[in-house]
């Protein structure tokens, strides 16, 4: 019992605010990269949407999306470290990705594998770049390895748990989750436009 | 070894307390971000967003009655409405957030409770596109009201997520309760519930006017 209480206390203490910097776990850069990804909802949401949609579409789509998105995430993270895209681009792109993937999952949209691969590559690149830019210069290559491993694990677990679903109401539950994700994207877009002082076209108003 | 007491053993007649996965998840979900400064607004996380839709009776009765009506209509409305409603409501939320003017929002919300309550009371069975359009129009009013009210704050994503999940769960409550439609007594009880929703909507309309 005491051991469980100590574990619970350690877990609760480990929950830190998601900031615009790399999460420090004290276990090295690989785990820091993993933690940064897993504790950053803006990075998680689009990839979960991709896993939901490709999981509904079947094992072929799931496999292609898994490997493409993970590879693209790694490349995007390297690019993000080098280019450091602005924060407004991050919020708008997260909103757009959530909206598009949420609609695809809610509609259970049938697409060719080529489209799945292209979307997975785009989302991996964008999301990886934004995540690495948010993590800052402290995120080295080791942190990118950690975050890529977390991306792979998250997508594999999510998609593989959706692929075998055959019961209608379970598939509908996944589609409802997709519609929630799309609604989230739309609201995030509203938030970004509301804070238009940070938008590029604010100077022209 | 006889006579030694295992410190991990439990005295007879008592059960060891267990920490179930659900309680773990609840505990972790309750943990909020540590902030070393005073917050600028109420948009501070998932739970503040979750509380927002369930804090207004007008919103609650309308959301629940969407689920009730969907359950009365049966397939495919029972799942088509919960899939489309959050999306259309988010369109209303988007309009409210960006400040597009929409007159008569309170009246629209009260009218939604009245019409949805009347639909449940009368067991109305319009064609699915008409039912979806009706619910969609009301969803815009509800979403707009919430979007216009949302305060500035720190975590738009978690707040919005909590807000959407709470709304979806209200639909789920309505659908679950509406499943009693399969029994004769359940049908009567649903119609009485519809009358209650209609009365509540009328009260809000009276206030709005």
CA–CA min distance A39, chain B (Å): 11
CA–CA min distance B161, chain A (Å): 6
Q: 3-state SS of A47-111?
A: HHHHHHHHHHHCHHHHHHHHHHHHHHHHHHHHHHHHHCCCHHHHHHHHHHHHHHHHHHHHHCCCC
What's the pLDDT tens digit per position in B67-106?
888 888 888 878 787 778 888 888 988 888 888 888 888 8
Flag whether the ipTM exceeds 0.85.
no
CA–CA min distance A8, chain B (Å): 8
CA–CA min distance B38, chain A (Å): 15
Contact A184 B87 (CB under 8 A): no
Interface probe with A: pick from B156, B159, B166, B170, most Cβ of A within 10 Å: B156
Torsion of CA A78, A143, B33, B40, to 10 degrees: -30
The model's pTM is 0.75
Task: Provide φ and ψ at A86, rounded to 5°.
Answer: -70, 160
- Chain B positions touching chain A (beta carbons under 8 Å): 16-17, 19, 24, 27-28, 31, 33-35, 79, 82-84, 86-87, 89-91, 93-99, 147, 152, 156-158, 160-161, 163-165, 168
Q: Give me the pLDDT at residue B31, please.
A: 55
Task: Provide φ and ψ at B38, rounded to 5°.
Answer: -75, 135
Contact A8 B161 (CB under 8 A): no
Nearest CA among A21, A43, A156, A152 for reference residue A93: A43
Q: Give me the pLDDT at residue A205, please.
A: 39
For chain B, counts of helices (H) and of strands (E): 8, 0
- Residue B196 predicted with pLDDT over 80: yes
Query: Which residue's structure tokens are 């929703």?
Result: B197
Residues of chain A with pLDDT under 50: 1, 11-20, 199-205
What's the pLDDT tens digit per position in B126-164?
888 888 888 888 889 888 888 887 766 657 788 888 888
CB B82 within 8 A of CB B67: yes
Query: Which residue's structure tokens are 């609609």?
Result: A103
Under the phi-then-psi rule, with left for phi > 0, alpha for psi from -120 to 50, and beta for the rest, what region is A60?
alpha
What's the pLDDT tens digit per position in B17-27?
555 666 666 65
Q: How far apart are CA A73 and CA A76, in angstroms?
A: 5
Q: Which residue has the higher pLDDT, B28 or A189?
A: A189
Structure tokens at B76: 């495919």
CB B93 within 8 A of CB B147: yes
CB A131 within 8 A of CB A151: no
Across chain B, mean pLDDT equals 78
What residues of chain B lie within 8 A of the CB of A94, using their CB?
A: 157
What residues of chain B lie within 8 A of the CB of A190, using their CB?
A: 93-98, 147
Q: Give me the pLDDT at residue A46, please.
A: 92
Using the 8-state DSSP alphabet, how is residue A21 labeled?
S
What's the burial of A204, exposed, middle or buried (CB within 10 Å: 0-12/13-18/19+)? exposed
Q: Give me the pLDDT at residue A197, please.
A: 52
Integer CA distances (angstroms), A191 to A49, A188, B65, B157, in order: 20, 5, 29, 9
């Amino acid at each position: 019992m005491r051991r469980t209480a100590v574990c619970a206390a350690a877990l609760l203490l480990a929950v830190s605010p998601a900031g615009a910097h790399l999460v420090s776990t004290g276990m090295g850069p690989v785990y820091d990269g993993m933690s940064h990804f897993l504790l950053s909802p803006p990075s998680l949401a689009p990839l979960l949407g991709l896993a939901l949609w490709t999981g509904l579409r079947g094992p072929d789509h799931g496999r292609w999306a898994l490997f493409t998105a993970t590879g693209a995430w790694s490349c995007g993270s390297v690019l993000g470290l080098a280019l450091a895209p602005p924060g407004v681009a991050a919020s708008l792109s997260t909103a757009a990705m959530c909206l598009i993937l949420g609609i695809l999952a809610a509609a259970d949209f049938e697409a060719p594998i080529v489209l799945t691969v292209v979307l997975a590559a785009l989302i991996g690149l964008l999301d990886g770049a934004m995540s690495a830019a948010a993590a800052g210069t402290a995120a080295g290559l080791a942190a990118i390895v950690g975050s890529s491993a977390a991306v792979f694990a998250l997508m594999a677990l999510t998609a593989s748990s959706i692929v075998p679903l055959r019961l209608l109401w379970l598939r509908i539950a996944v589609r409802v989750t997709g519609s929630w994700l799309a609604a989230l994207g739309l609201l995030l877009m509203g938030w970004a436009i509301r804070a238009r002082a940070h938008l590029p076209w604010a100077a022209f108003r | 070894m006889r006579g030694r007491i295992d410190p991990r053993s439990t005295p007879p007649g008592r059960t060891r307390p267990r920490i179930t996965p659900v309680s773990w998840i609840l505990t972790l979900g309750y943990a909020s971000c540590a902030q070393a400064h005073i917050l600028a607004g109420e948009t501070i996380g998932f739970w503040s967003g979750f509380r927002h839709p369930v804090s207004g009776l007008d919103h609650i009765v309308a959301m629940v009655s969407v689920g009730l009506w969907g359950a009365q209509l049966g397939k495919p409305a029972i799942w088509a409405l919960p899939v489309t409603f959050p999306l259309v409501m988010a369109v209303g939320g988007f309009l409210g957030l960006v400040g597009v003017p929409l007159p008569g929002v309170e009246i629209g919300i009260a009218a939604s409770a009245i019409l949805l309550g009347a639909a449940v009371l009368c067991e109305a069975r319009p064609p699915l596109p008409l039912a979806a359009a009706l619910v969609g129009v009301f969803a815009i009013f509800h979403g707009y009201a919430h979007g216009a009210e949302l305060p500035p704050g720190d975590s738009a994503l978690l707040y919005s997520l909590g807000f959407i999940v709470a709304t979806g769960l209200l639909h789920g409550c309505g659908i679950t309760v509406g499943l009693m439609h399969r029994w004769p007594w359940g049908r009567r009880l649903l119609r009485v519930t519809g009358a209650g929703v209609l009365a509540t909507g009328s009260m809000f309309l009276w206030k709005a006017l």
